[in-house]
Amino acid sequence: MKFFVDTADTAEIKDLAATGLVDGVTTNPSLIKKSGRDFFEVIAEICEIVPGPVSAEVAATTLDGMLAEAARLSPIAPNVTIKVPLTWDGLKATKRLSAEGVKVNVTLCFSAAQALLAAKAGATYISPFIGRLDDIGLDGLDLISDICQIYDQYESIQTEVLVASVRSPGHVIEAAKMGAHVATLPPAVLRQLALHPLTDKGLAAFLADWEATGQKIV
């Protein structure tokens, strides 16, 4: 499973990218707002930090508007992925952009039917928002299971399932068991993946015993 980070905070991205475990980055208008920075500047900086795909989301809602914005965003760097909303205009834009070889991340997916349409339109990634489904009393992971099952039926579908709106390590593990290709993680969730209280407890005991031997490795 590939790990993307879901943030426009370049200090966080730098820190996490130093682990070598970050395969890409996703942003959205809310994350850009939170960064307080210029959209073009921040995307360019992220693209330099992480060589993998970096999603930059259009703000237009019409086909022509989305294509015009994609034409401005794509030249920022070769690793820019254009993110479009799952609307009819977004699907039309996906079809047009993917035919031109542009990588497209179709976002705001909340149903398997929407995911099927995005795949037919040639999306590189489909982004189902699982946390937001959980928030309204549904089970977001059921949607991941459905999409993975549907995509697996057709060799012609190359679209990758990019699990978004992730809230916990449990989301990541369950989605990985289903074979989802990518999870985009808030930095805090990515950090949480490495943590276990028994690891801390075990390490403390090992270090105390090692100290007691009086030995040194180097």
Residues with catalytic function: 83
Which among 57, 61, 66 is positioned nearest to 93, based on CA atoms? 66
For ligand G3P, give the closer residue by CB, 34 or 196: 34
Helical (H) or strand (E) element with 128 = strand 125-128
For ligand G3P, give the closer residue by CB, 110 or 151: 110
What's the DSSP call for residue 195? -
Cβ atoms within 10 Å, residue 212: 8
Is 86 a binder of ligand G3P (CB under 6 A)? no
Place of tokens 């995307």: 43
Is 131 a binder of ligand G3P (CB under 6 A)? yes
- Smallest distance, ligand G3P to C-beta of residue 197, A: 26
Is 6 a binder of ligand G3P (CB under 6 A)? yes
Of the residues 132, 150, 191, 193, which one makes contact with ligand G3P according to CB under 6 A:
132
The stretch among 58-66, 68-76, 124-132, 206-214 that binds ligand G3P (CB under 6 A) is 124-132
- Type of residue found at 105: N
96 CB-contact burial (10 Å; exposed 0-12 / middle 13-18 / buried 19+):
middle
- Smallest distance, ligand G3P to C-beta of residue 27, A: 7
